Amino acid sequence: MGDTNGSHELSEFERRHRDLPHWEDPGATYVVRFSVWRGCGVFLDSAEIAPIVVAALRYQHGRRYWLYDYTVMPEHVHVIIKPITRKGKAEHLWQILRDLKGWMARRINDELRRSGSLWRDESWDRIIRDDVEYDQWSEYILRNAQEAGLVEDPCDWPWWGRGVDGPAR
């Protein structure tokens, strides 16, 4: 699984590796992409499902992480988040994502009266290293629906947001 020690808090830089590499550092801001299983028949951008995803992303803002940019696409979600650091320690990103995806899967499965796996096991994540990179990822998230041909003006995508106001990144 990697060289993580199993602790519930992150106090120093750690590397893990499953199929994808994962680097975590207390105080880091991350861009994350998580996706549904192909062929599961769930479209995250539907009027029944997208509000569940957005509400879940916004719910833990200020509790477990600071939420910045996000977009909910038909089969995946992009988000920029920063786990909250307290006394030099932060919750592991994988724990936050596990809980977030688990809660959303239960709600979405209930809404659609379905059962079974919803999310791909592993998410893609990257530490954002500076303001220039943050701005590039923020722009990418904004334009994702436009680039996919879902809207002409990216601001018309109803499931995109600039997050909830939080501390400076």
3 within a domain of the structure (yes/no): no
Instruction: Report pTM.
Output: 0.85
2 within a domain of the structure (yes/no): no
94 within a domain of the structure (yes/no): yes
Token pair 């750690």 in the structure block, residue: 14
114 within a domain of the structure (yes/no): yes
Residues of the domain holding 41:
10-161
Query: DSSP characters for 135-164?
Result: HHHHHHHHHHHHHTTS-SSGGG-TTEE---
- Domain tally, the chain: 1
Number of Cα atoms under 13 Å in the Cβ half of residue 136: 9
Q: Is the pLDDT of residue 125 over 90?
A: yes
**Confidence class for position 13, pLDDT limits 50, 70, 90:** low
Q: Using one digit for the tens of pLDDT, what is the confidence trace for 35-76?
A: 999 989 999 999 999 999 999 999 999 999 999 999 999 999
168 within a domain of the structure (yes/no): no
Token pair 């979405």 in the structure block, residue: 108
Q: Is the pLDDT of residue 144 over 50?
A: yes
Residues in Cβ contact with 47 at an 8 Å cutoff, skipping those fewer than 6 apart? none
Q: Using one digit for the tens of pLDDT, what is the confidence trace for 76-122?
A: 999 999 999 998 889 999 999 999 999 999 999 999 999 999 999 89
Rounded to a whole number, what is the distance in angstroms from the first to the last CA of the chain?
Answer: 29
169 within a domain of the structure (yes/no): no
- Crossing angle of helices 50-59 and 93-112, rounded to 10°: 150
24 within a domain of the structure (yes/no): yes
Name the region of 111 (left: φ>0; alpha: ψ -120 to 50; beta: rest). alpha
Q: Is the pLDDT of residue 146 over 90?
A: yes
User: 79: domain CATH number?
Assistant: 3.30.70.1290
